[in-house]
Amino acid sequence: MEEKQIKKILAVIILLSLIPASILLYRRIQSEGQKRIVTFVMDEIALESQADYFGKTSFELAQEYKSLGLNGIAIYEETLSSLADKGDILLLTGAQVLNYAVTNNLDIPNIEVDTIAASELASGALKYALAKNTPKATKIELDGRDWYIFSGSSPARPAGPRDADIKRWSNAGYDIAYRPRNFPNLINPSADWPKEAHYIIYHGLQIAGHPKGLSQIVKDSQNYITGIIEGVPQYGMSSILNKIPTARILSFNQDYINQKLSAQDLIDKYLLAANERGISIMYLRPYIEEQQGEMIVNTKKYISGLRQGFEAEGFLISPLENLELNYKTNSLLRGLSSLGILAAVALLAFIYPGVWGVVVVLAVVALGLLFGKLDWAALALMAAVSFPVLGYGYLKENLASLGLATVISLIGAVLLSAVGSDRESILAITPFAGVGATLLIPPLLFIFHYALKFRNPAKWIIDFWNQPIKVSHIAIAFMGLIAMAFIIMRRGNFPIVSATKYELALRAWLAGLFVRPRFKEMFGHTIAVLGLTNKTWPAWVKGISLTAGVIAQGTIMNSFSHYHTPFIISLQRTLIALAIGLVFGLVLSALARALVYITSNWLKSAQ
């Protein structure tokens, strides 16, 4: 069979695979179209810090914010230290107890210096601490008062909820999130979780019960929604995620809020997270410093702005009653859809001469298996790195190729979404395997393809090795490395290199008009237009510009690999980025041709 016939057959397989993929995609879009609900939960400790400045309690201040849109509160599990601060217990070190006994001529108790001694001032204040901490506290009597001696010197031992506080918040109608703590060797740490709480949001970098008590945690979590904090991996969470109800949380560091984020910045970020990343628990912290102005004024501004913004976007601000996703995948339809991905990988081989096509295919398959294992995730990753290269690899170098390459990437996005989407991935319980490779591998595959159009790898190596080094070569290589490093450092929700204030302003403006496009995608299209519309430019310049175009196509696949973002949102972002990139590219191309013309004439006049 001739190569041309094989290519046609593979193309037909890809198109036919769109039928089962479209069925799965339709089901997913239907499930994503359900009523959108978010809840606002404010950190009670941060709220208390703000309230202290004005002689108020956190509850009193919360009542003011409730009238503006706040509907929830996050209450931390108490510790021995926090109970002492609230006047519920007396707390001394073992050394202080011994010193008291000696000073007052009392019988010296048999306790160690490096222990913690607690005595109740409020009846029952220590009941949860005594029930869950091990080794068990030792009870002694000293000067007519009962003391409980806890081993170790840490006053941070978990002490359960303060029941009266929880009931007060609940009776006032707040949506309650409880924040349990972990500590070594706790006994059934979930036994004291308050029934009034709606969510469990673990405090710190470990979930309660990690590492030995997770089975009981899973059992007791069924009546709560467990919060997954975006950007904060918590030890033990991965072991329970698929077994409990969950929702995703966005929160910001307190110092970051105080020093960097205006009220409008916070509003924009929370709205973006809900619209584009499916986050439903907005974890709020008030301003507790005044670098940006009056803390209460700014806090009120961003709470009321959040309510108005979310209601304008069609969200309901309410407790999250039912997070079950009405999406069920189908193994048969997934399997049929995956045939299109395998066909695309096979098509990829034909843009490389000789044995290099086989090498590339094996590398792509190995990459998928390395990150995705023997699972659907492997096929999804193969799609993500193959389709962006096919467009510019097969199409002619003209302006129409920009749109056609994007169509090919969108076909890949449909297949990727069909094969990779399930309940866990859409709810962001299971992240996309190898998401970073979707931005890095496609341009590398394209550069390799483009280089082989001119000479074989051995010739490239020989010529490169013997090439005299010029300043221009160093400059170009340096700029290329900077561009690649910039792309890598800018990826993710919490990038190493943050966006400038000008870029943030542009993002906000675009988001106000429509769904915000991804900048890597938009600018990649812009640079690709330069290469596609200037055929007389040197091949190496066109190669660089087309590689930027492939990066844009890879970014398309990267967008759709974030399964928790609604498919329609990702599609809108893609089309908007294409339109803006095309316009910018045509304008920049005209300017570039004018600049080349003027520079050429100037250089000729100097000869």
Q: Which pLDDT tens digit goes with each residue over 354-398?
A: 899 999 999 999 999 999 999 999 999 999 999 999 999 888 888
260 and 247 within one domain? yes
pLDDT in tens, 99-134: 999 999 888 998 999 999 999 999 999 999 999 999
Closest CA to 280 of 227, 206, 243: 227
183 and 87 within one domain? no
DSSP bridge pairs for 142 = 145
Q: What is the pLDDT of residue 455?
A: 72
Identity of the amino acid at 291: Q
Q: What is the pLDDT of residue 302?
A: 94
Q: Kind and range of the H or E element at 43?
A: strand 37-43
Residue written as token pair 């290099």: 356
Q: What is the pLDDT of residue 497?
A: 52
Q: Among 275-279, 342-346, 446-450, which is the least confidently predicted range?
A: 275-279
202 and 84 within one domain? no
Distance CA 378, CA 399 (A): 33
pLDDT in tens, 83-93: 999 999 999 99
* Mean pLDDT for the chain overall: 88
Per-residue pLDDT, averaged over 66-74, amounts to 96
Q: What is the pLDDT of residue 140?
A: 93
Q: Looking at 285, 317, 349, which one is the last position of a domain?
A: 317
Contact between residue 555 and residue 528 where contact means Cβ atoms under 8 Å apart: no
| SS3 (DSSP) at 453 | coil
Inside any domain, residue 324: no
Q: Looking at 289, 317, 345, which one is the last position of a domain?
A: 317
Sign of the torsion formed by the C-alpha atoms of 341, 347, 352 and 355? positive
284 and 195 within one domain? yes
Q: What is the pLDDT of residue 514?
A: 55
Contact between residue 570 and residue 278 where contact means Cβ atoms under 8 Å apart: no
335 and 310 within one domain? no
Inside any domain, residue 322: no
pLDDT in tens, 213-234: 999 999 999 999 999 998 888 9
196 and 139 within one domain? no
Cis bond upstream, residue 457 (ω within 30): no
List the structure tokens of 128: 């949860």
381 and 241 within one domain? no
Inside any domain, residue 483: yes
170 and 288 within one domain? yes
Contact between residue 21 and residue 337 where contact means Cβ atoms under 8 Å apart: yes
Inside any domain, residue 536: yes
312 and 334 within one domain? no
Distance CA 489, CA 496 (A): 5
Inside any domain, residue 570: yes
pLDDT at residue 424 is higher than 70: yes
Higher pLDDT, 276 or 176: 176
What is the tally of structural domains in the chain? 3
354 and 226 within one domain? no
Per-residue pLDDT, averaged over 73-79, amounts to 98
pLDDT at residue 491 is higher than 80: no
List the structure tokens of 435: 């998401």
Inside any domain, residue 508: yes
Identity of the amino acid at 391: G
| Domain range enclosing 547 | 3-31+329-605
pLDDT at residue 243 is higher than 70: yes
**99-103 LR contacts (CB < 8 Å, sep 24+):** 100/142, 100/143, 101/142
Inside any domain, residue 157: no
303 and 415 within one domain? no
Q: Among 169-183, 265-279, 343-357, 547-561, which is the least confidently predicted range?
A: 265-279
List the structure tokens of 598: 């003027």
273 and 201 within one domain? yes
Please, which pLDDT band fits residue 461 given cuts at 50, 70 and 90? Answer: low
pLDDT in tens, 18-29: 999 999 999 998
Inside any domain, residue 156: no
Contact between residue 415 and residue 383 where contact means Cβ atoms under 8 Å apart: yes
Total Cβ atoms within 10 A of residue 334: 19
Contact between residue 515 and residue 573 where contact means Cβ atoms under 8 Å apart: yes
Continuous H helices in 534-566: 539-561
Per-residue pLDDT, averaged over 156-173, amounts to 96
Cα within 13 Å of Cα(170), Cβ side: 14
3-state secondary structure 406-465: HHHHHHHHHHHHHHHCCHHHHCCCCCCCCCCHHHHHHHHHHHHHHHHCCCCHHHHHHHHH
Per-residue pLDDT, averaged over 295-307, amounts to 96
| DSSP code per residue over 246-273 | EEEEE---HHHHHHT--HHHHHHHHHHH
Q: What is the pLDDT of residue 396?
A: 85
Distance CA 74, CA 45 (A): 8
Per-residue pLDDT, averaged over 158-166, amounts to 96
**Could you tell me what percent of the chain has a pLDDT over 90?**
62
Q: Looking at 317, 350, 380, which one is the last position of a domain?
A: 317
What CATH number is given to the structural domain containing 42? 3.20.20
